[in-house]
Amino acid sequence: MMRMIPLLLIVLSVVLNYTIAQVDGLTINQITERLQRRYEMIDDATIQFSQRVKFGYSKIEQLFEGTLISKKPNYYRVETEHQTLVTDGVTVWAYSPVNKQLIIDHYKENQNTISPEHFMLNIPSQYYATLLGREKEKDRTLVVVKLIPKDDRSFVQSVKLWIEETSWMIAKLSIVDINETETTYIINSIKLNTGIKDKAFIFTPPPDTDIVDLR
């Protein structure tokens, strides 16, 4: 199953076993409460992002742009030049334009799934959160939070979030996996609550597509 890109606001529950930290009077609990309130206001989002992947062993880097369309609870459409990933919460379509191949499978939620709903439901039991501090970037201040999984066998080894302090939107995040591959996403633009229709999360393949149905 595809791993969903975590570009919507991530809810961190206040029942986490937090590493207690404070930056100029702002605690990790206050930050996550504000994130939660912001997330609750969002029904759908369209996000333009830049992605950088640095492979741990080879040190090779890949850079590309993409679009994420998301709608609660489990609707996602991720498009890059290399692949289109779509799910309606029941079925997953993974299309490769280079290979002209479409793989269809059931949507499966598991502990390695990277989605807002996954974080919302599983961070309290699976992650520690630490407030690292603040960083200045041009004319804005970013609050930096790091998540470490409690399970040593987790595919995700760490998640680092840069949160814009005035809007409480995630501006950047970095994921390091078990292979020491670091994937960084930078949010270039975001549109919220535009009334995205469910049909945006159904994939119709182009003609002459090789279809592999794993359901």
Which pLDDT value is given to residue 85?
92
Q: Count the Cβ atoms, other than its own, within 10 Å of residue 16.
A: 18
User: Structurally, how many domains does the chain consist of?
Assistant: 1
Mean pLDDT, residues 11-39 taken together: 56
Which residues, 6 or more positions from 153, have their beta carbon under 8 angstroms from its beta carbon? Answer: none
182 belongs to a structural domain: yes
> Does the pLDDT value for residue 137 go beyond 60?
yes
Chain segment 174-195, per-residue pLDDT in tens: 989 899 999 898 989 989 999 9
The better pLDDT of the pair 65, 32 is held by 65
10 belongs to a structural domain: no
Which pLDDT value is given to residue 153?
84
Which pLDDT value is given to residue 117?
53
The better pLDDT of the pair 180, 8 is held by 180
Q: pTM of the prediction? A: 0.76
Mean pLDDT of the residues in the chain: 80
Asked if residues 190 and 168 have their Cβ atoms less than 8 Å apart, the reply is no
Which of 31-35, 44-48, 116-120 has the highest mean predicted lDDT (pLDDT)? 44-48
CA distance 75 to 200: 9
> Does the pLDDT value for residue 109 go beyond 70?
no
15 belongs to a structural domain: no
13 belongs to a structural domain: no
Q: Count the Cβ atoms, other than its own, within 10 Å of residue 102.
A: 20
Q: Indicate the pLDDT class of residue 23, thresholds 50, 70 and 90.
A: low
Mean pLDDT, residues 137-141 taken together: 87
33 belongs to a structural domain: yes
Look-up of token digits 């741990």: 56
17 belongs to a structural domain: no
Asked if residues 158 and 148 have their Cβ atoms less than 8 Å apart, the reply is yes
Q: Indicate the pLDDT class of residue 211, thresholds 50, 70 and 90.
A: very high
CATH number at residue 151: 2.50.20.10
Domain region containing 32: 22-213
